[in-house]
Amino acid sequence: MVLHVNHFDKTMRSSIKTILAILTVFSMVLSGCTEASIDSAENDENNDEINDMPLPDCELNDSCFEPEEQLVMIPHSDGCDNINPIHCMLPFPSDAFLVDDETKVTGKRIDYSPTSLPGSGSKSMIEIPLINQMDGFSTSTQIMTAFSTSPNLDMAANQNNIIPSMSIQHQTLLVNLENGDLIEHWVELDARAEDGEEVILHIRTIKHLEYNTEYGVLVHGLSDNSGEMIQPSDALTAIINGDSTDSTDIENRRIGINNLIDYFIQEKDVKKSDIQAIWSFSTNSAESALGPIIQMRDDALERIGGGIGCTIESVEENYGEDNLTLRRITGTFTTPQYTLSEYTPTLINRDENRMPVFVENREVPFIMTIPHLQNDTTDMPITIWGHGFLGLGDGGPRGWAHTYQTAMLTTDITGFSSVDYDPISFALLDPNYFSHHSASLEQGMINHVVLARTFSDTCSNLTEFYEDDLKIINTDEIHWGGYSLGGIVGIPVMSLSPDINRGALFAGGGPYTLIAERSGAVQGLYYAFSLDISYENQMDRAVIMSAVIQQLWDVVDPDAYSAYLNGGYSGLHEHQFVSLNSIGDQVVPILSADRMIRSSGASIMDSSVYHPVETSTWNENDTSSSVAVYFDGNFTAPEENIFGPGNGAHGYLWYPSEPAEIAFQFILDGEIYDACNGNCTN
């Protein structure tokens, strides 16, 4: 019994403890619910009070909150300068197409992607690998951009009035960013623009730019013909206003463009709100432009010594049967060759640094014209004569050879000879073939250098140089003469040749891209260039022909060599020339002659009918300067960049005696002679 009671007691005590525990927990839960109910009631009361309070102004207009940034949407095309949506390659030239390259002299390298250059009707993707090895843009480059509306240029410098471009108030500024100098230029709209398309604004320099130099370009304050201000592109507007864009290209370049804007504001007093276009570009080094052809020349001269040899194939006595020519000699001379094939189109064999590599020796044709002797002539000098565009080395002008008693020696200017029409045509369909064209031009320059060396040494004592056992050819005197193309390439040939130190340049000029826009000589090629299988769009044609290809033509352009006409660059030789030019020339425009004269630093003969701006008048006591003369035969040429209807101006220099008298007096005796007696008119 005792055991039963104790068990019951223990059981009861356990149950009571359990009940107490449950009650304790339940009371705690009830207590929490009560507090929550109280808090809820208090919160409802507080919320009612808050809802009755007026909102701050910033919440009403959202100004309390940081707004989400709106990006400016910019059209993007890979491989393009996306600052200007009108054309992938505009503005041109632009640092947008340069990349850093520490292996280059300038520290930069051109980088056109497969989508940068416009495709033709025959090939959608154009690549020119040779240009991408160069360390900057040509010093003869064309400079251009375009806007959505055409600007009025009434107040801008033009080809007849360049002086306004030297004011910081001028609507276009071209600045050497390394010294702050304003660069003289003039401005024109592309007269070839087609209906319905934007018009290119050309900024024309009046002489070559400096090598390895950065330039800044600014357009500001231009209005259209209705008086409305020209608007900058959306991308440039975003940069000016500090707005972010969705373009990686633009954002990556923002700092550089802002720095350029700051430069023009601080240094040239430009108003930021007036800026309509702004960009920079860097020119190539002389090593990049001329280094390969100088190395080719050095290698060729080392290989030949005094010349490898020449072969006479025919001799025609009394050629022409007009008593002008004693004999005409045809043959070949042996020349080191660097082109992969002797047939065009072909390329220069180059190493990884773009330097030419010797391929083989080949025989190159030549023709020499020896005039009938007069006045007991016994030591006629040799004039290497350069032929015209798409012509042949056919022996030179026999009449002048006879009158002035000089032997004429010729070979083809390969690249621009009669056999090169088809290769040039290929390049109009695929501009990479301009690399092949450039190769022929380079080899042609070397051929002329070797021609001069060979006939001054190894082939200086040919039996054909004798008459009645007396040597009548003075092979110690070799000079240059040329007309049209021959007048253009004279400066490159003389700069490269150690054996030619003076020459006469008839109707010369440069650069080629400036000539090509206005020269009737290329009108047929330009027509082909405009076909649907080539480039129907004028803006594409301008970019390809008037800008990019100049890089490949520099090797035979007087502009590239003129900076070193009087020395200053290892590997180029000093020389002196007289330049004879015809006002109104529609084949080699006077604009290009002016530029060649300025770039070379030549003086103007006082008798000249025209003295280009930024040139000096020749002093008769100056025996070392090159001298230019302009003749007026009452011809005119269009001022726009179009082909003229044709006139006799280009051939005019053949007919009056004065141009030839000035030229050959200088060739024969090295004397500057004013044959015009004060006035070189007809």
Q: What is the pLDDT of residues 151-184, one digit of tens each?
A: 999 999 999 999 999 999 999 999 999 999 999 9
pLDDT for residue 517 is more than 90: yes
pLDDT for residue 17 is more than 80: no
Query: What does the pLDDT read at residue 53?
Result: 57
174 domain-assigned: yes
What sign does the dihedral 556-558-560-564 (CA atoms) show? positive
309 domain-assigned: yes
Average pLDDT over residues 33-44: 48
Same domain, 238 and 345: no
Average pLDDT over residues 124-148: 97
pLDDT for residue 9 is more than 50: no
651-678 pLDDT, tens digit each? 999 999 999 999 999 999 999 999 998 8
Residue 582 domain boundaries: 501-511+557-682
* DSSP structural state of residue 359: -
Average pLDDT over residues 196-215: 97
The band of 188, judged by pLDDT with boundaries at 50, 70 and 90, is very high
Same domain, 435 and 573: no
Tally of structural domains, the chain: 4
Query: What does the pLDDT read at residue 59?
Result: 58
112 domain-assigned: yes
132 domain-assigned: yes
Same domain, 303 and 266: no
361 domain-assigned: yes
Same domain, 474 and 391: yes
547 domain-assigned: no
540 domain-assigned: no
Domain final residue, candidates 241, 262, 282 = 282
78 domain-assigned: no
Query: What does the pLDDT read at residue 388?
Result: 97
The Cα-based distances of 481 to 400, 408, 583 in angstroms read 11, 9, 20
Helices 433-456 and 286-304 cross at an angle (nearest 10°) of 40
Same domain, 339 and 393: yes
Nearest to 580 by CA among 512, 516, 658: 658
Same domain, 168 and 256: yes
Same domain, 165 and 148: yes
Query: What does the pLDDT read at residue 392?
Result: 96
Same domain, 293 and 255: no
Nearest to 656 by CA among 639, 634, 633, 678: 633
Same domain, 267 and 149: yes
Q: What is the mean pLDDT of the chain?
A: 91
Same domain, 373 and 486: yes
Average pLDDT over residues 129-133: 97
Same domain, 262 and 309: no
Nearest to 433 by CA among 413, 412, 417, 415: 415
Same domain, 174 and 278: yes
Domain final residue, candidates 247, 267, 282 = 282
The band of 110, judged by pLDDT with boundaries at 50, 70 and 90, is very high
Query: What does the pLDDT read at residue 63?
Result: 58
For residues 296 and 442, is the Cβ–Cβ distance under 8 A? yes
Query: What does the pLDDT read at residue 66?
Result: 61
Q: What pTM value is reported for the model?
A: 0.89
Other beta carbons within 10 angstroms of residue 609's beta carbon come to: 16
The band of 29, judged by pLDDT with boundaries at 50, 70 and 90, is very low
What sign does the dihedral 428-429-430-435 (CA atoms) show? negative
The band of 68, judged by pLDDT with boundaries at 50, 70 and 90, is low
Average pLDDT over residues 516-528: 94
